[in-house]
């Protein structure tokens, strides 16, 4: 199964950028990288996904390393509402049809 590793926790000051790293050294060439986040007492929600190129949407940016063995989720200006657990997952050949979540990174935002 596709494996990702993330730091257990991170802190950020409000209105500052946040860079959340994810390592996926066993990624295959056809695996997609997805990011989800889970706010307290809610189900996970989609943030962003990509294959090779960097991606931007209204919520965040995804920076993918050239060798694709790591990626970084970038929140441009952290708000208190961004305090959540962030999960980096892979889908594709390595994981077949399973979608496996790791422990994720718990992000705290300091006012």
Q: Which of 37, 33, 54, 55 is nearest to 46 (CA)?
A: 37
Q: Would you count residue 86 as binding other proteins (CB under 8 A)?
A: no
For strand 105-110 and strand 9-13, is the pairing parallel, antiparallel, or unpaired?
A: parallel
Nearer Cβ to other proteins, position 24 or 34? Answer: 34
Do the beta carbons of residue 2 and residue 33 sit within 8 Å?
no
Q: Would you count residue 67 as binding other proteins (CB under 8 A)?
A: no
Token representation of residue 40? 């307290």
Do the beta carbons of residue 76 and residue 59 sit within 8 Å?
no
> 3-class DSSP state for residue 78?
coil
Q: How many residues bind other proteins (CB under 8 A)?
A: 23
Q: Would you count residue 3 as binding other proteins (CB under 8 A)?
A: no
Q: Would you count residue 91 as binding other proteins (CB under 8 A)?
A: yes
Of positions 43, 66, 67, 81, contacts other proteins by CB under 8 A: 43
Q: Would you count residue 98 as binding other proteins (CB under 8 A)?
A: yes
Residues near other proteins, by CB under 8 A:
30, 32, 34, 36, 42-46, 49, 51, 85, 87, 91-92, 97-104
């Amino acid at each position: 199964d596709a494996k990702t590793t993330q730091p257990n926790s991170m802190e950020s000051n409000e209105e500052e950028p946040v860079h959340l790293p994810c390592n996926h050294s066993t990624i295959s060439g056809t695996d997609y990288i997805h990011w989800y986040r889970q706010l307290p007492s809610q189900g996970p929600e989609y943030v962003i996904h990509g294959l090779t190129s960097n991606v931007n949407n209204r919520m965040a940016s995804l920076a993918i390393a050239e060798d694709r063995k790591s990626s970084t989720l970038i929140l441009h200006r952290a708000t208190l509402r961004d305090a959540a657990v962030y999960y980096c997952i892979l889908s594709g050949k390595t994981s077949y049809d399973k979608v496996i979540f790791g422990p994720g990174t718990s992000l705290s935002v300091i006012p």
